[in-house]
Amino acid sequence: MTFRPILKPKVRQLYALAHAIRKRTDKKAVVKAWFERAKALLDAGRK
């Protein structure tokens, strides 16, 4: 398996937030932020 770097900054942000979810004790706040950010990125991509 070959590792391919994530070049798109928006996708990299989502991966970073997803990684942060596992490290937090209060996961709810981070999950909420992740979904809000993902929704904003998807909505911006539709325009």
Rounded mean pLDDT of 2-31?
A: 78
| Closest to 18 (Cα-Cα) out of 2, 33, 1 | 33
Of residues 21 and 28, which shows the higher confidence score?
Answer: 28
In the predicted structure, residue 5 carries a pLDDT above the cut 80: no
Give percent of the chain with pLDDT exceeding 90: 0
Q: What is the pTM of this model?
A: 0.53
Sketch the domain layout of the chain as residue ranges: 9-46
pLDDT of residue 31: 82
5-35 residues labelled b (16+ CB within 10 A) or e (exposed): eeeeeeeeeeeebeeeeeeeeeeeebeeebe
